[in-house]
Amino acid sequence: MALRLAIIEDNADLLDELLAWLGYRGFEVWGSRSAEAFWRQLHSHPVDIVLIDIG
């Protein structure tokens, strides 16, 4: 079973790159551009690790 990741990143280009790269490396990954969108998705798409853009 693949490790499940979620990414919160407001930069759309960076988010797309991270999703593509991590998916290629075998991770089950999804992303959100805001914390609000993340919380809405989390209940139906549980994850093991969350990567958060702080700055």
Model pTM?
0.88
Q: Residue 17 is which amino acid?
A: E
pLDDT at site 47: 97
Q: Residue 50 is which amino acid?
A: V
Over residues 32-40, the mean pLDDT reads: 95
pLDDT at site 55: 77
pLDDT at site 11: 96
**Alpha-carbon distance 32 to 12, whole Å?**
9
User: Which of 29, 33, 34 has its CA nearest to residue 46?
Assistant: 29
- Could you tell me if 14 and 31 are in contact, meaning their C-beta atoms sit under 8 angstroms apart? no
Q: Where are the alpha helices (DSSP H) in 1-55?
A: 12-24, 35-42
> pLDDT for 2-31, tens place per residue?
899 999 999 999 999 999 999 999 999 999
Looking at the predicted structure, is the pLDDT value of residue 1 above 90? no
Looking at the predicted structure, is the pLDDT value of residue 32 above 90? yes
